[in-house]
Structures are given as structure tokens and as C-alpha cells.
Chain A
């Protein structure tokens, strides 16, 4: 395979993986606190339309990203009120949030379907971008790609090196013991859930402002669900989220490249597309076999409501 092709596969893989990383890392934080929000698809859709609309009106993709973040956070707040304060079922409420977000974004987005945004340029890191093969993919990307790495670093630091991160994990492990030693369980879960929504919104805005860039109804096209799968695939570890996102993205990209290259490989594309999901199930089985591994990785109280008896 020639080097420039390899380089462009890497490049495309990183671009395709970026929204997944951002959304999945946000979900990871929410899930670490014990909240399972299946509404990622809806929050991404809202982030996508808010980001697109604000970028169009202000000309600033950064304000667009902020708007996407706010829209996602708003949707997540609604979800948090229902499941944390009102103790609605998390699975059902998440599904309802998905429906609401996809519908509302389409509804708000009607006037924007004909609009176009200029493409946001890449930021080239001098010298490093000239490294053969990996230079372009790693060092000549749009700003949000670099920011996804910053986000990754921050979250690793937060979860494993900071005190609030420790508290967050404690809340997800055992809300009742966290409560009994004086941590405000509900408030922490609120913050984590809203952060998850904000990141879903940024991921959506990445799609509509940086990636495509356009707005059409249904443009998230299932990426929110993939992000949820990814968190599980990664067994709630940020590094594995990164690897997983690039794997998910890479499978799609490589499949496109194989097709375009005209190599006579004839695997039904549905089979290739199913691979990441099957892999996720296998990973789940492997990590669940041993109770200790589960305790190390999965937030024990995931999806279960908690209300401190005051």
C-alpha cells in the first residue's frame, strides 16, 4: 500500500472518530456517576442544529460549538430533572429524550436546510505535519480534533488524579455510602449528566459545523448510539474510548477505501458494519466474567435511581 493512501486512511479515521470520542467521553463521565442516558442521539441532533444556526448567524464556528454545548447541556438538564429529581426510569427517559431531540432539532432546523457554511480550515502544526505518513493525520487537522485530545487528557487527569474525580467514581460505585460520608450524590449526578449532554452537543456541532458542514434532518445518523456502545466497549476507560472510537471510525473508512480501490474483496458490507457491535459484546463478556474486573471498570449503580432519605 502506498504511503499517501495510508496517510489518508489515517487522516479520515481520525476525523471520523473525533465526534465519537467527544460524545463518548461525555457519556463516560455521566455513566461513571451512575447515570445511563440513552438520549445521546437526540442531544447530538440538538447540538448539531444549534451549532449550525449560531455559526451561520455569527460567522464564528466557536460560538457555534458553544451553542451546541449549551443545547446539549439543556437537553441533559431536562433529562436530569426527570430521572434524578423526579426519579423517572433512566432507560425510558433516555429513549424519550432521543425522540424529543431528533424531532425538535428537525423542527427548529427547517429554515436552515438550504444554508451553507464555509469549511473550517485545518490548523497545521509546523514541522510535525511534515513527518511522513503520520504527519498530516496527526498535525494538520481542524481545531476540534486537537481539542478532543485535550478533552481526553483532562478527563484522564480528572478521573484518576483529582479528588472530585474520585468522588464521582465513588458516587457511581455506591451512592448510599457516598451519601453517608457526606457527598451530595444528586448534585454530582446532575453535574455529570449535564457535562455528558454538553459533550454530546459539541459532538453534534462538530458534525454540522466542521465535518460535513451542513444541516439536514437526521444527519447524526446513529452516531449517538454508537457513542453509547463505545463507552461499554471501552469498559468505561478513557484510553479505550479513544482507541475504540478510532477503531469504529477506522472500520468504516477502511471499508470505503477497500471498495474504492477495486480490490476484489467481496464481504457483505453489512457484515463489516456489524463487527464493532459484535466486538463490543465480546469485550463485555470478557470483562464481566470476573467479578473483580467488573468492579474495577463498570460503575456498579449504573442506571439505578438513588434518593437519599433525608
Chain B
């Protein structure tokens, strides 16, 4: 019975949303391309929260296609949105970049925004968030709270964005605890809860008492809850999946940027730029801090959040030293965005090696 009730509720909601989108054809429409199903937490879920915020705050209508493979199918989906006159199309995964660029050249009246990536066009901008800022703060918490001095990280693929997160995490930890070391396990998948959990449990059995992940499910947080260690969520607030274990999470917030983009497009002031926002633009936040974090540390973290917002704190401030002991950034300097984008190494304190 309860099963059908949930179903009916959900269906009614879907029908309602449908009716709303269908009813107001006059409003501007905005298209979203998602790489995975929306789900309840994770990368696409956060983008969908942004989409809902956009609808609520600006009155535009939106439509999305989820689970779009990062291959030729993406171009058709993006083009369909442009062709029917969507004001803006947000393509939210790296593999859409070349397809988005191609479509953008044919549909000059539509603004395209691609999330992550490095190619821009006359009417195609880029947006990404400085996820590593949140990672640095969670690293500080991990460094202060670890008893074993071993931290664990479950990661998907060694692209720069993931390496930035790993390196910021260990740098944050080492800034307060020079004894801390980080172990990384690559699962070669954004999405395999079974394997993610297994990797988390492996790290825990190897002594890690603070774990985090850069994959798309909640499995790592759940594993930490079961095994009695602490975890940091990613993408979304995952405290529901581990009320005791979940200390906080680096969460993504795209809504404000989406709203701003639409307003600019409607005002005719939009120009394709590459935005790499972090704390100052409120694109990165920490989820509510768990009470298990000592009050003094909580205050310190809040203070650091302030510093990040006003750019007084840079997670990759020199000296930045890599795993082999070579100095990447000398003391007194900050790592440049160019360097960040090409990151393909571990910093000191990481005891694993990067696969091929």
C-alpha cells in the first residue's frame, strides 16, 4: 500500500510540473543536459536543485534530459533545445564540450553554458566551481580530528578537477597536522556503489579514520557510518546517509549562477566568459557542521570560510611541494589557475601513486 502511495504522490508531482511547463509557453525556456539520472544526491542532483531555484526565482520554464551519454547523442539533445528556441542551454558534463561548441556555432541566438571544460565560443561560456576550496576546509577538519593520522579518499578518474580535490584535502590536513597522510583508491567509475563501498572499507581497514570521495553515490558515507569512522560528503549534503559519520560536505551550488545568467541574457548583457567561482560567488559551501566537531574547530572553519570569501586564504598558497619533494609553487606565491588546470601529480603527504 505504502508503495503505491509513494508512486501516486510522485506521479502527481510529475504531472503537476508537466502541466506547469506546458501551460506557460510564453515564458523563456531554458534547457539542461544531465549526464546521469537526477537521483537524490550527487553531481546531477545539485544541478537540478539549481534548475528548480532558477524556475522559482525567475519564472522561466525549464526542461531537461537526464542520462545523456557523452557521445554523439548529446549533440542531438543540445541542438533540439537550441532549435526550439531555448534562451540558454546548460550542458553539465565535460564530455559535452565539443558537441556544445558545434551546436553553438549554428544557433547564435541561444546562449550556451558548458560546465567544466576548456573551450569557449562566441556564444558559449564556461562555468566551473573551485571545489578544492571546500576540500581544503574538510582537510583541515580531518587533520585535526584524525587519531590514526591516516586519511582515505575514494576517487573516480585522475582528471585535474579530482586531483585538485585530493591535493587540497591533504594540504588542508597537513596545514594543521604534518603527520597526516592520505591514501587514494581509484575505482575507475563515477558510479558503482558496490565498488565505492568496497574501496571505502578497504581504506578503513588500512587504518583510515577520515574518509571522503569524489564519486557520485552516497556509498562511501554509508560505509563510514557502518564502520564507525568519520566521512565528508561531496556534491550534496549527505548527512541523511550517515548522521553520525558525516562531519560535513563540500556542496555545489549552481542556482545563483543560473539565475544570474538568465537575467543577463534577458537584459542582453550576457557575454560568454569563463567563470571559475568558489566561495566569493557562493558556488561552494560546506554542509552544516556535525556536532562531533569541537566548537573551537567549528569557529576556526567558519573563520576560514570568511577568509576564502574575501580571497585572503588560498588553498594552494606556496610552498606547494609535490610527492617527489619538488617545489611546485615557492613560498609567498599562489598557484595560478593555469597550473591548477593542468594538475597531474600528488602533493606531499599522499602515499599512493597515480595510475598510468
Contacts and interface: CB of A to CB of B under 8 A. Distances in A.
A113 B39 contact: yes
Interface residues of B, number: 45
A260 B198 contact: no
Interface in A1-30: 4-5, 8, 12, 15-16
B203 A260 contact: yes
Contacts, number: 113
Interface stretch (A213-221, A229-237, A286-294): A213-221
Interface in B181-200: 183-189, 191-195, 197-199
Given A12-B198, A106-B37, A5 B205 contact: yes
Contact of B10 (A15, A110, A219, A273): A110
B199 to A, nearest CB: 5
Nearest to A115: B40
B10 A111 contact: yes
Given A256-B199, A260-B185, A270-B188, A216 B205 contact: no
Interface in A90-128: 106, 110-111, 113-114, 116, 119
A221 B195 contact: yes
A163 interface: no
A57 B37 contact: no
Contact of B185 (A212, A219, A259): A259
Nearest to A212: B193
A110 B6 CA distance: 10
Contact of A262 (B187, B205, B226, B353): B353
B193 A216 contact: yes
B355 A256 contact: no
A253 interface: yes
A269 interface: yes
Contacts of B202: 8, 12, 253, 256-257, 260
A113 B356 contact: no
B25 interface: no
A262 B183 contact: yes
B7 interface: yes
A214 B39 contact: no
B266 interface: no
B26 interface: no
A266 to B, nearest CB: 6
Nearest to B150: A260
Contact of A269 (B186, B208, B222): B186
Interface in B301-317: none
Q: How large is the interface on A (under 10, 10 to 19, 20 to 34, 35 or more residues)?
A: 35 or more
A213 B217 contact: no
B205 A212 contact: no
A252 interface: yes
A270 B6 CA distance: 41
B24 interface: no
Contacts of B23: none
Contacts of A15: 198
Interface string B139-164: 00000000000001000000000000
A3 to B, nearest CB: 12
A277 interface: no
B37 A217 contact: yes
A268 B356 contact: yes
Nearest to A211: B194
Contacts of A216: 37, 39, 191, 193, 217
Interface in A185-227: 207, 211-214, 216-219, 221, 223
A253 B200 CA distance: 11
Contacts of B197: 211-212
A273 B191 contact: no
B226 A119 contact: yes
B240 interface: yes
**Which of B9, B184, B185 has the most CB atoms of chain A within a 10 A radius of its CB?**
B185
Contact of B193 (A110, A116, A219, A252): A219
A260 B208 CA distance: 10
Given A106-B37, A216-B39, A260-B202, A57 B352 contact: no
Contacts of B6: 111
A111 B226 CA distance: 24
B219 interface: yes
Contacts of B194: 16, 207, 211-212, 219, 221, 223
B42 to A, nearest CB: 9
Interface in B94-123: none
A182 interface: no
B198 A256 contact: yes
A256 B192 contact: no
A212 B219 contact: yes
Contact of B205 (A4, A114, A207): A4
A207 B198 CA distance: 12
A264 B355 CA distance: 10
A180 interface: no
B206 A116 contact: no
B261 interface: no
Given A16-B198, A221-B192, A266-B355, 8 more contacts: A15-B198, A113-B37, A217-B67, A221-B193, A252-B198, A253-B202, A260-B152, A260-B203
| Interchain residue pairs A-B with the least CB separation, the first 8 | A262-B351, A114-B40, A8-B205, A221-B192, A256-B202, A113-B40, A111-B6, A212-B193
Interface of A: 4-5, 8, 12, 15-16, 53, 57, 106, 110-111, 113-114, 116, 119, 207, 211-214, 216-219, 221, 223, 252-253, 256-257, 259-262, 264-266, 268-270, 273
12 contacts: A5-B205, A5-B206, A16-B198, A212-B194, A216-B39, A221-B191, A256-B198, A260-B184, A260-B352, A266-B355, A268-B355, A269-B188
